[in-house]
Structure 1
Amino acid sequence: MTLLFRRGLPAIGLALLALPAMAAQPPGGGAPPAVGVAPVARRAVTESNEFIGRIEAINRVEIVSRVTAFLEKREFTEGSEVKQGDLLIRLERGPFEAQLAQARAAVAEADAQLQNASVTLNRAQALLNTVAGQRSNVDTALAAQRSAQAQLLSAQAQQRQAQINLDYTEIRAPIDGRIGRALVTEGNVVSPSSGTLVSIVSQDPMYVLFTVPVRTLLEVRSRYAGRGGINAVAVKVRLPDGTLYDQSGKLDFVDIDVGQDTDSITLRARMPNPVQDGSLRGLSAGQLVSVVVEAIEPAQLLTVPRGAVITDQRGDFVYVVGADNKAERRSIRMGSQSTPELAVVQEGLREGDQVIVDGLQRVRPGSPVSPAPVQGGAAGQGPGGPGRPAQGG
């Protein structure tokens, strides 16, 4: 037993000495880990920024009564679209028709008095050159004729006012748009102090208002200064369900004031809103949406696949295959034009650098790797399937 123990001791010692060496060996018999790489290259990127916005109608009208009368009949369907000039509400006409008839009678009476005053004036002027004529009679007749003329003008004005009041008993749509819910029902007395009877909002086009930081606005202006300024961007809308509205708009207004609390400014774009699916429209007044401001033409920007970018407490970085196929950590600064597929790199990389896209979990800074190009420059697209680099090259 003693002999066996002594002979086994060197073997156990050798085994213990070999353990650190075995642990230090990389998996796979010491071969560097295989990784997929893609080149840093300039690609066509549609630059875009996204903000929160709200849809507003270009025109909004609150319908009120101009006269005091009973509401006899409602001629519109709530929620439907109306055209300018369509009859919406009928008010009681009888009292206003009587006022108009009375005003017409007053006009006729004033006209008769004017005719009589004119005859008297002519007679007094004819007698002025005779023995019976007196200058005072002519002056009196002239004053009476002018007074009668003024009374006729007053009566005609009252007739016009009576006609206007009668016309106000038919309330018509002042604009094209969609009409809302009736706030006063038939049989009620309405007046100018009754408030809104119903509202109409225009439908096509619509406004979308959104707020952007002043810094972002300055960057956009600088970026597109050589391509027409704000005319070089298109505005799109992402609906609450995440779908992109199929119409594009144009910026048409930048507010004159900057919010003191937020250092932001309000922009407005005009969006087409045609009828879809027979009767419905894509946008509604007051709707909360996401506003996508993007360039009309794509720009050539320095990019890497988005899957190559890692973020930690120190910021964004990538692994670059450097000399002797060793992985190097490079801190980068991404541009706001980045997309879910591509990261636009403003600082930290040069065109042609090889960044690691696949196998990042096996990479350590300064350690050797076995790079192979990823097909199409995107992770998971190689012939080896997701997460594998393409073979060859």
Structure 2
Amino acid sequence: MNPFLIIRCSFILGIITLAAACSPGAKEKHAMPAAIPVVVAIAEQKDIPIQIHTIGNVEAYSTVSVKARVEGELLRVYFKEGQEVKKGDLLFLIDSRPFKASLKQFEANLARDTAQMKKAEADVLRYNALLKSGVVSKQEYDQYHTNFEAFRATVKADEAAVVNARLQLGYCNIRSPIDGRIGRLEVNQGNIVKDIDTILVTINQTKPIYVTFSLPEQELSEVRRYMAQKNLKVEAIVPKDEMDSVAGELTFINNEVHESTGTILLKAIFVNEDESLWPKQFVNVVLTLTTQPGAVVIPSQAIQIGQEGNYVFVVRPDFTVEFRPVVLGNRFNQETIIAKGLQPGEKVVTDGQFQLVQGSKVEIKNILESLAQSSSGIHNQKVDTYE
């Protein structure tokens, strides 16, 4: 083929291609990129609780380590491990036979010495009459009077010994000092127990129950300020059971800050009738300080972080997006308060932000839902109140 002809054809083809590229239709297609699909949400106005979230530990309302007050053989156990008991319920029986024998002995001593005291008292009365008649001397009378006083002191000692013996006998029946739940049995039936030496069982009172938690010392002044105004609500949430929280009330702020951690200990009380909280259990704690009325909130996933701080993409009426810096407030569940930068009813992008820049054209994937929310949320807005 002629080389000149090849060059000429290539030149003509290049002109045709250039003309096609510069045509109005091609220019219009290049200037009209496809809309980016996004998901949006509408900024709403609600009453939002101001809360502090932390981790807490469940603590028994009271704990009693049951011990024997007398020594002897453990004859019987009246409960099962883990059982719920009431104050005054019989728990253990210690062999009472030695204590019954001691009581009888002291009662016999008391009876003997009482009889002797009565005889000495009669002698004193008789010698007192003889002394007045001058039959006996004052020395003889004093001797009988002294004997009477000695017997009276002996009787008082005997009475005290009898009372103590009865107490010792009563200690053979060991009863629950509180309402609570029995723990593991430490000494089995048949063993010899020693007084104030061995823990027999531990009882934890679980109704009501405490949850203790710590907060940074920087939060102390705010917590005390709101606590002075009203009782503060505390919620305890068992991990993996977030939908079922337990409500309680803040009752205690420790009187000092832990110097090594810079935190302060707080305690809340819970009725716990269903025993959903268990001693030594870890729980998520939510302390509600107050409620912020009329706060503008959006889903937290709409918030982006850039070099200049937090921002969101706001969808304009012409379906282009605006880069909007925002100032954040507190978070509640999956929503965040916008302290500055948004108005109620504005649409923000919650999914698809990574493809957007200022002025990007968007296609709202949940447009029907968004329009429905817009019509009911702006003109007839529902305000949720969290108490």
Deviations 1:27-75 (A, max 9, x none): 7834765766555443222333321111111111101010110111111
Of 52, 55, 59, which aligns to 1:52?
55
In structure 1, the residue matched to 2:293 is 299
In structure 1, the residue matched to 2:385 is none
Cα separation, partners in 2 of 1:22 and 1:204, compared to 1, 3 Å: farther
* Aligned 1:370-385 pairs, distance under 5 A: 381-383=366-368
Of 119, 123, 127, which aligns to 1:124?
127
Cα separation, partners in 2 of 1:72 and 1:175, compared to 1, 3 Å: same
Matched, 1:135 2:141: no
In structure 1, the residue matched to 2:116 is 113
Matched, 1:182 2:181: no
In structure 2, what is the Cα distance between the partners aligned to 1:156 and 1:25? 116
Matched, 1:360 2:350: no
Cα separation, partners in 2 of 1:68 and 1:220, compared to 1, 3 Å: closer
Name stretches of at least 5 consecutive residues in structure 2 with no aligned partner. 376-387
In structure 1, what is the Cα distance between the partners aligned to 2:10 and 2:372? 50
Q: Alpha-carbon deviation of 1:171?
A: 0.5
> Which one-letter code corresponds to 2:11 in the other structure?
L
In structure 2, the residue matched to 1:214 is 217
Matched, 1:73 2:67: no
Deviates more, 1:38-47 or 1:49-58: 38-47
Instruction: Choose between structure 1 and 2: higher strand proportion.
Output: 2
Q: Alpha-carbon deviation of 1:181?
A: 1.4
Contact 2:47/2:294 (<8 A) preserved: yes
Cα separation, partners in 2 of 1:358 and 1:190, compared to 1, 3 Å: closer
In structure 2, the residue matched to 1:240 is 239
Q: Alpha-carbon deviation of 1:192?
A: 2.1
In structure 1, what is the Cα distance between the partners aligned to 2:190 and 2:345? 80
In structure 1, the residue matched to 2:257 is 258
In structure 1, the residue matched to 2:14 is 12
TM-score by length of 1: 0.82
In structure 1, the residue matched to 2:149 is 146
In structure 2, the residue matched to 1:332 is 326
Identity of matched residues, %: 30
Contact 2:58/2:280 (<8 A) preserved: yes
Matched, 1:87 2:90: yes
Cα separation, partners in 2 of 1:167 and 1:14, compared to 1, 3 Å: farther
In structure 2, what is the Cα distance between the partners aligned to 1:124 and 1:91? 51
In structure 1, what is the Cα distance between the partners aligned to 2:29 and 2:150? 118
In structure 2, what is the Cα distance between the partners aligned to 1:311 and 1:25? 35
How many residues are treated as equivalent by the alignment?
371
* Aligned 1:254-333 pairs, distance under 5 A: 254-275=253-274, 281-294=275-288, 299-312=293-306, 315-320=309-314, 327-333=321-327
CA RMSD in angstroms comes to 3.4
Of 93, 96, 99, which aligns to 2:99?
96
In structure 2, what is the Cα distance between the partners aligned to 1:82 and 1:208? 22
TM-score by length of 2: 0.83
Deviations 1:151-199 (A, max 9, x none): 1110000111111111111111111111111111111110125320111
Considering Cα pairs closer than 8 Å and 6+ residues apart, tell me whether 1 or 2 has the greater RCO.
Answer: 2
In structure 1, what is the Cα distance between the partners aligned to 2:361 and 2:159? 100
Deviates more, 1:25-34 or 1:87-96: 25-34
Q: Alpha-carbon deviation of 1:245?
A: 3.7
Cα separation, partners in 2 of 1:390 and 1:39, compared to 1, 3 Å: closer
Deviations 1:70-94 (A, max 9, x none): 1111111111111111111111111
Deviates more, 1:67-76 or 1:139-148: 139-148
> Which one-letter code corresponds to 1:262 in the other structure?
T
In structure 2, the residue matched to 1:158 is 161
